[in-house]
Amino acid sequence: MVSRIHILGASGSGTTTLAKALANELEYKHFDTDDYYWIPSEIPFTRPRPLEERQSLLKKDLKNHDSWILSGSLCGWGDIFIPHFELVIYLWILRDIRISRLVKREKERYGSAIEPGGNRHELSSEFVKWAEKYDEGGIEIRSKRLHEIWLSRLECPILRIERDMTVKERVNIVMSII
């Protein structure tokens, strides 16, 4: 049975949602790369942790659990964890669906703060503009191109789910593989 799974894809593709559902189904521990990459602060997702600190924190958590699912992108900063992966799942869906999900999530998280004049308006707008570049972006950003290069270096099995479907359908696909 596969017990160490990494799920990555574009922001809004459902990596965290699938990871949580699978972790629940399999009774595995779920970790998300954002929890290691970003320093918790009054304005979330604005201050990255130093490289060594995020690696140390994630290493400790992964080491303390035999079965886990890690969601999010760690290309570059987390390459030291590649040998631990028994399965990598890559999610991709159309840009319009992803961006719609992201805008909805931003509204749910921050409410009126993302509206013009709100204290998260600029950050939210920049985030969405960044996320829109995923399909055509270069390797200097989190992009399909960067993920494809990163995936090509893996030795473990890779499961690609590259269309929109329900969480349950995705869980069923993964369960049939593992």
| CATH placement of domain 4-176 | 3.40.50.300
Contacts of 38 (CB under 8 A, 6+ apart): 44, 45, 46, 47, 48, 49
Is the pLDDT assigned to residue 129 strictly greater than 90? yes
User: Up-side HSE of residue 148: CA atoms within 13 Å toward CB?
Assistant: 11
Token digits of residue 30 = 């779920």
Q: Where are the domains of the chain?
A: 4-176
Torsion of CA 21, 23, 29, 30, to 10 degrees: -40
pLDDT in tens, 134-149: 999 999 999 999 999 9
Average pLDDT, the chain: 96
Distance from C-alpha of 127 to C-alpha of 133, rounded to nearest angstrom: 10
pLDDT at 44: 82
At 57-104, the pLDDT tens digits run 999 999 999 999 999 999 999 999 999 999 999 999 999 999 999 999
